[in-house]
Chain A
Amino acid sequence: MSDDARTWLARLQALDLPRRVRILNVCGGHERSITQAGLRGILPANVELIPGPGCPVCVCPEEAIYQAMQLALRDGVILLAFGDMLRVPVNVPKDEPRSLEQARAAGADIRPIASPLEAVQVARDHPDRQVVFFAAGFETTFAPVAAMVAAGLPDNLLLLSAGRLTWPAVAMLLDGQAPGFDALVAPGHVATVMGPEEWAFVPGQYRIPTAVAGFSAGSLLAAFYSVLRQLIEDRPFLDNCYPEVVREGGNATARRLLEEVFAVGEANWRGIGPIPASGFILRERYAAHDASRRLPDHTDATRRRVGEMPPGCDCARVVLGQIYPTGCRLYGRACTPRNPVGPCMVSDEGACRIWWAGGIREPEPGTAA
């Protein structure tokens, strides 16, 4: 552990803590750092760290993945997606492909990419084919997607957007019956792009202590210290514990590009349902590149378990911070990274996968929410 981390830990341990404090994070990268650095083990036992909605792939609508598969299977498009998306299961009868990976094995032209730049390249390399970029992601990822669109797309490149904003999910939790957390650590790279101010409503309207954190143990421990002290002194405000990267107003170019390319509207979150003002939707002027307007709609509302998580999978409650991954009956039994049942075990940002990779095999003491 760095000196910086040790200093913050010592300060935190000297605090006169309340009986139980639940700190929510909404970023798969934070959860990975917390788990890999073993921060849960070194914090006082009354401080609980709860992984929340930090995985865009986990909440990507099941209907959208099904639609993407059908475009590749039936309409012969080249379907591009971030690699994380390929193994996410949809609910189909046993004899049908149940993921993009299986659709690819069945002959569909589906390719994993790591950057929107690759999508443009594939479209240029295949001018005679229709190419669809099926993109899931939060603000950090959708700013580059917006940059790709604004820079000018080849005619044959269409976008199927499953882009989501992070703060509306937190607002939804706070407006619910039992938010399930006492403090929030806000996502560092989302705040890099959008500016930390987006999170001011959490301490401002809901009086929940909040701090933006980076990804080192030092920055995370500084943020935990900050929110705990805010709680003890009953003085909630928005702290920035990642000042070397997160600046006031965020990245102005990125925000302008997002605004220019995408409208923000109600959007569906898998297993959770619609959340107001939480989805990036291509603006009218880019309609010619919008796969959801240009291509056949294969979503079938009568399909069994349409839109739901796979049977037995508690991923939606994991995403909402209502249970820990170990609270799912299938965790480590029927569901492992090798044979994932739900998206939270597929994605690198999924809490189930992060916990399993971090060697967590036993239920944690205390349960979430």
Chain B
Amino acid sequence: MCLAIPMQVVEIDGFNARCAAKGIEREVSLFMLQDEPPTVGDHVLVHVGYAIQVITEQHARSSWELLDEVLGGERPADA
């Protein structure tokens, strides 16, 4: 359950963002990043619908490779 998925911020409206990963878009809350707000294009780690940390694109890619192996294609919404 502590699994977190890397996603890219596509659009920001207040604390709500649309984030994308592997062609799937989701509503993500940025409420927990108030001290370090991301901007469009940034990568974030998402856990149960909330961004918990801003990460580098390079890390976003490597954890995607990992999630592909571990989850075998499970959807981000299941994280």
Contacts and interface: CB of A to CB of B under 8 A. Distances in A.
Nearest to A4: B62
Interface residues of B, number: 32
Interface string B26-56: 0101011111100000000101111011011
B32 A257 contact: yes
Given A143-B32, A144-B32, A216 B66 contact: yes
Interface of B: 1-4, 15, 27, 29, 31-36, 45, 47-50, 52-53, 55-56, 58-59, 62-63, 66, 69-70, 77-79
A114 B49 contact: yes
A271 interface: no
B47 A141 contact: yes
Nearest to A118: B49
Contact of B29 (A117, A192, A245): A117
A215 B66 contact: yes
Classify chain A: how many residues form its interface, as a range: 35 or more
Q: Counting chain A CB atoms within 10 Å of each CB, which of B2, B15, B48, B79 scores highest?
A: B2
A27 interface: yes
Given A147-B32, A216-B63, A349-B1, A244 B55 contact: yes
Top 10 A-B pairs, shortest CB-CB distance: A115-B49, A144-B50, A140-B2, A147-B31, A189-B2, A253-B34, A244-B59, A117-B49, A252-B35, A253-B35
Interface string A319-349: 0000000000000000000000000000111
Nearest to A35: B70
10 contacts: A36-B69, A137-B1, A138-B2, A143-B50, A190-B2, A215-B3, A244-B55, A244-B58, A251-B33, A254-B52
Given A32-B70, A117-B49, A192-B45, A57 B56 contact: no
Nearest to A190: B2
Interface in A32-83: 32-33, 36-37, 56-57, 82
At the interface, is chain B mostly helix, strand, loop or mixed? mixed
A247 B53 CA distance: 10
Nearest to B55: A245
B4 to A, nearest CB: 5
A308 interface: no
Contact of B52 (A137, A138, A192, A244): A192
Nearest to B59: A244
